[in-house]
Structure 1
Amino acid sequence: MKNLLSAAAAALLSLGAAGASAQSNTVYVGGAYIDVHSRAPALSGGQALPAPGAQIEVDDASTVGFGYTYRFTPAWSVEAALGIPPRHKTYGRGFIEPFGQISSVKQVAPTVLVNYHFSPMAKVEPFVGVGINYTHFTGARSTASGEAASGGPTKIELSDSWGLAAHVGASYAIDKAWSIVGTIAYADVKSDLKATTTTASGDVVRTTHIKFNPVAYTLCVGYSF
């Protein structure tokens, strides 16, 4: 069995080496727009809040996206997609909507995808990919309006998220090395939010569960070697 597995692994490696083009590696950088379609139930916990309909909504954000793709056969590649962590503004909805922006948070969301290329090495090369997304939230902070709505200084925490990711896209070969790459991606991102407000009578904890439902649009320049 050990010999059989070794032989299979060697065969796969030789297939990849034989099938991949001379430009097996591609790095890319460009713009990314993250269109968030967040959903969250009303905040629970506390006394002054929530009132019926005290909800939050996460706003869209733009950033710089970059990544690396390794083509191990003409039709298949593996990709690591990254980006400069964007800051998302959060707004009150329902009862707390008059307070406007109540908080903001940054997200770090590396994603690994396996891609299938429909027209390998063509001038225009469409592809689809599926993979795994990990999102870590950092730099969460409440605004003055948010603290007024909550009743005092508020510390915000969001749990990390693991979820499936998928994208569709196409690359346009400018020449042998340079290309333009555009994608539309979706990731299953969700998080438990905990807001702890310090009041004169003690800490008040409020929670909710956010489904971000982000759709990311990217347009990048790629360099293959």
Structure 2
Amino acid sequence: MTSRFQFPSLSTSLRAAALAALAVAGQAHAADAGTGSGSMLDGWTFYLGGAYIDVHAKSSPLSGTSTTFPDGSTHAARFRIDDASTVGFGLVYRFNKTWSGELALGLPAEHSIHGEDLLESFDQITLVKQAPPAAFLNYHFPEVAEGVSFFVGPGINYTRFLRARNTASGNAAAGGETKVKLDSSWGLAGHVGGTWQIDRNWSFVGTVAYAHVTSTQTSTTQTNLGNGPVTVTHTANINFRPVVYSLSLGYTF
């Protein structure tokens, strides 16, 4: 199963977005320094909490020739990816009351991949872990109540698939011992959230984030067609479309 994200002029776009974000944040910080305004959460905040990854994945049919399906084809073999939970953490630097920069991280989450259509009878065929660090530039709205405010931020996501492995069912579906690889993905991201300041140092924060994550999964199988060993390769494009819900406790220092 293979997944690939196509993004025109990605390197140029990322540089432009990063420079624009730094320019906006720098101007806001300078303006705030001139007025002497501030926030209880000025400076660095580390947060730690739970994250639920709601995957709305859609895969293309497998591309390649199978020796295990009745018609010898994979044209109707697809995948379904399960949701996952993990521990999320990250760093926020609050430039002033309006702007902050954020690096969102988390422990690698493991997703189960199940077969659909011609692969449905094989159930769970692959397990894959992924780490999706993301960077955001956040705009903070004025408080709606004492200590309570909301924010919104665009960002950039990089998803790296750290480990993918076939199950026994997956090997049976492919016709032999199979190695699986998923391409890494760059994509745009965005999130909205709310913060509740408990006191000078402690706060709760909840977010809902979306990232554009696509990948190409490649499965390489060593099998035997009767006249000796042969290597068979299958690929599929997967659009993960994850929505991530998180709730964390932050400490400002």
**TM-score relative to the length of structure 2:** 0.81
> Is 2:230 the partner of 1:202?
yes
What's 2:11 paired with?
none
2:242 equivalent to 1:224? no
Q: Are the counterparts in 2 of residues 19 and 72 from structure 1 also a CA contact under 8 Å?
A: no
How far residue 186 of structure 1 moved from its aligned partner, in angstroms, is 0.3
CA deviation map 1:176-225 (0-9, x unaligned): 21111000000000001110011024010000110000000000001112
- With a CA cutoff of 8 Å and minimum separation of 6, indicate the structure with the bigger relative contact order: 2
- Give the structure 1 partner of residue 187 of structure 2: 163
Q: Report the counterpart of residue 153 of structure 1 in structure 2.
A: 177
Q: Does the CA contact (< 8 Å) of 1:56 and 1:90 recur in 2?
A: yes
- The secondary structure found in structure 2 opposite 1:21 is coil
Q: Which residue of 1 is the match for residue 212 of structure 2?
A: 188
The answer on 1:74 being equivalent to 2:97 is yes
- Which residue of 136, 139, 152 maps to 1:116? 139
Question: Cα RMSD between the aligned structures?
Answer: 2.0
User: Which residue of structure 1 aligns with residue 151 of structure 2?
Assistant: 127
Q: Secondary structure at the match of 2:200?
A: coil
CA offsets per residue over residues 61-99 of structure 1, 9 Å max, x none?
A: 000000000011210000000000011110000111111
Sequence identity of aligned pairs in percent? 49
Q: Which consecutive unaligned segments of at least 5 residues does structure 1 have? A: 1-8
Q: In 2, distance between residues paired with 1:137 and 1:215?
A: 17
Unaligned runs of 5+ in 2: 1-24
Once the two structures are TM-superposed, the CA of residue 51 in structure 1 deviates from its matched residue by 3.5
**C-alpha displacement of 1:174:** 1.3
Query: How many residues matched?
Result: 218
For residues 12 and 169 of structure 1, do their structure 2 counterparts lie closer, same or farther at Cα, with a shift above 3 Å needed? closer
The aligned counterpart of 1:142 is 166
1:139-194 Cα shifts (integer Å, max 9, x gaps): 10000000001100011111110000000110111112111100000000000111
CA contact (8 A) 2:155 2:188 kept: yes
| Aligned partner (choices 68, 77, 101) of residue 124 of structure 2 | 101
Name 2:199's counterpart in structure 1. Answer: 175
TM-score by length of 1: 0.91
Q: Which runs of 4+ in 1 moved over 4 A?
A: 9-13, 16-20
Distance 1:31 1:19, change over 3 A: same
Q: Offset at 1:16?
A: 5.3
